[in-house]
Structure formats: C-alpha cells, structure tokens
Structure 1
Amino acid sequence: MKKRFITTLTLAAILISPAHAISEKYRAQLERSGCTQVTDGNGCDIHKTKAQNAAAAQKSEPAVADFQPYVGTWQSLDQNGKAIDTFTVTRTSVKTRGHLVEQARVDNGRLTFRVQAAEFNLLPEGFGSWLTSTQSGAIKRH
C-alpha cells in the first residue's frame, strides 16, 4: 500500500510541475525577432529584429502569377469528347467548382496545375491536355 501511495504521489508531482520547453534566452530572441519556433528554421532569423525579418520576407515573396494568356473558361474532355469538368482561369488564379487548384504555374509556355491525381497543361492557343495514371484527355477554351 505504501509503495502504491509513493508511486502515485511521485507521478502526481511530475504531472503538475511546469514544463519549460525553451530557455529564457531563446524565448527573448523569438520575441525580439518576431519569429516563432516553427518559422525559426524556415527563413526567419532570430538574430534579426522584427523589421529586418519583415523586409527579408517581402523580398523573398514570389511575384504574383500572371495567367493573362490563359484567361477564360476551359473544359476538360474525356477520350470520347464528353465534357468532364470546367476550369475558370483569371489573371492570378485557376479554379474548378469554386476552389483553387493545386500548384498552378506557368512553365515553358504552358499553364500547368493539379487537381487531385490529374495533371493539366493549358496552352495559350486555347487547347491543352490532362493526364492521370490511367486516363487522359483534351482541354479546350470556350
């Protein structure tokens, strides 16, 4: 009985004691720099001030995408020519069913993006193609 009581008391003391995951020095550096523990290793420098980190973040932000040659409504077709899906391309985004698509970018003169397992390639001339591991088809602009 005494053994169980001592074990329970020890376990309770461990559980209620505060956990200090980071040192006070590191905490102060994070506060001064405007970084968090997550961003510290992802481009935020704890040895710089908040203003210096903000300026560095603005310089490293990629330019806004320009999908101007692809603007319009596009329709993906299966191998039989039946319409499957519709995409809306604006100057800065690509959407299907009201949702942004994944990884939209212009590469080698074509707009490429992903929707689930399918990869789409649009050409400024108004046509393109799509491909999955088991199917493929065409895309045309309306």
Structure 2
Amino acid sequence: MNKAIFAALAITLLAQSPAYAISEKYRKQLEQSGCTQISELQGCDITKSKAENAKAGFGEPAAPAAGSTKSQTPYAGQWVAKSASGATVATIRIDEKEHVWVNGKPVKAKRTDGGLQFRAGTILFMIQGDRRLKDEDYWTDSDAGIKGLIQAE
C-alpha cells in the first residue's frame, strides 16, 4: 500500500511542470520598459523605453553620472552646531564619503541608530539620516551638561 502511494506521489512530482504567472514576452516588455505590473496599472507604458517612462514619472530615476555634484549621502554638506542662545558652538563639514571635519579638524564618524555620530572633545554630535525629520540633529556636551541643535547651512 505504502509503495503504491509513494510511486504515485513520485510520478506526480516528476510530471509537474513549473507554472509561470506571466509569459516570457510580457516579462521582456516589462524589463525593457522599466515598468512593473503595478506601475503598468498606474499608466506606465510597456511599449516605451525605460528613459521615456522615467520622464513620465515611472520606474527608477537614472543614477547620477560619475563626478556628479549630487551627493549620495544625506549627511554631506556644511552644518552649524548652535547653542540655545544662537551662538555657534562648532562648524561641521561632511563630504560625500562621510569624512567629517569639526572646526577644520578631522574626526572619526560612525553610522549608528539611523544617523551619523561623531565626537570632538567632550561634545557628541548626532546627525539623522532621514532628512525629512526636522530638529532631530543635535549635539551634547557631557562636561558642561548642555545641548543644542545642528542646522544645515
């Protein structure tokens, strides 16, 4: 009895052919157009090129060319750490490779807790990676027990 069930199961598994949700032709059209099945429902045209669909707002935007001034990191730029009274505590510069300078001196930085963290003396700086968050970039001085905000220039 078990041999018969095992044999029937083996034949069934070997006889099954893979099922594909879309045809090969349709898959190639999606790849060439930069569309997905979802974006096609939203108006992406599978008969157009990726570039044409990207101009229409569908698909991934083209990656910036090498040497482009557009930054790949949300931290790059000039920053100013200010006290509660508005006085400048430190000026910060971060390049595209996330090298950090505080008041013109290089410091080591590390990514942690969704942001870039670095220290200069007793002051700890934290710049958030999500640029949509406002007033979340801060500094704290452990000796003086004070803190403040960091603003992009």
| TM-score, scaled to structure 2 | 0.45
Higher-helix-fraction structure: 1
| TM-score, scaled to structure 1 | 0.48
